Amino acid sequence: MSLPAELEALLRNRIRDVPDWPTAGVVFKDIAPLLADPVTFRAAIDALAELVRAEPVDKVAGIEARGFILGAPLAYACGVGFVPVRKAGKLPGDLVSASYSLEYGTATVEVQVDAFAAGDRILIVDDVLATGGTAAAAVDLVRRAGAEVVGFAVLIELEFLAGRDQLPDVPVHSLLQL
Ligand code: AMP
């Protein structure tokens, strides 16, 4: 989806580049200024909500941790439920897990087995799509928990890392391409 130029400029101005963080060579996209400004926070959630209006969903699944910050108000605004996709070891009860590769080593994300009803239509949300490993693991997790992934929505897509190539059969919606 393409944003009105004025809104795009507003959002871009509230994203801070932090060079060489958390490791050398990475430019961290810090969305704290965008979240702290009520105008841009609302604008970002409203723009993401437009996606949900175009594609009806039953639940929003947010990826820990910044996917919670965006996904929970998005679910609330759309009148649907929210499911946290959490890092390993945070959730009680019976879980579904998916592991994925990071630059060094692996990480695991989890949801509770009863998080979704069979066939639920799920929109997965995160703040940044980089290499796509996190998003692909979340898609795998939601599907193995018995639900259907109808889209992956992010505030920022780092196009040079080609993360959407890891999600060949999932519609990817990014508000900003940086
Ligand atoms: P990836 O699995 O490589 O697509 O990384 C995506 C996850 O890592 C998201 O949950 C982001 O919050 C975080 N992330 C990766 N790269 C960045 C970046 N340059 N700036 C901010 N967050 C990032």
Cα 171 to Cα 176: distance, rounded to the nearest angstrom? 15
pTM score: 0.97
Q: Locate tokens 């409203």: which residue?
A: 46
Determine the average pLDDT of the residues in 35-54. Answer: 93
For residue 171 and ligand 1, the question of a CB distance below 6 A is answered with no
Q: Is 28 in the pocket of ligand 1 (CB under 6 A)?
A: yes
Report which protein residue has its CA nearest ligand 1's atom 19. Answer: 28
Kindly report, residue by residue over 64-115, the tens digit of the pLDDT. 999 999 999 999 999 999 999 999 999 999 999 999 988 778 999 999 999 9
For residue 151, pLDDT over 90 is answered with yes
Omega into 22 within 30° of 0, i.e. cis?
yes
71 Cβ inside 6 Å of ligand 1: no
Calculate how far, in angstroms, residue 52's C-alpha sits from the geometric centre of ligand 1. Answer: 23
Q: For residues 152 and 127, is the Cβ–Cβ distance under 8 A?
A: no
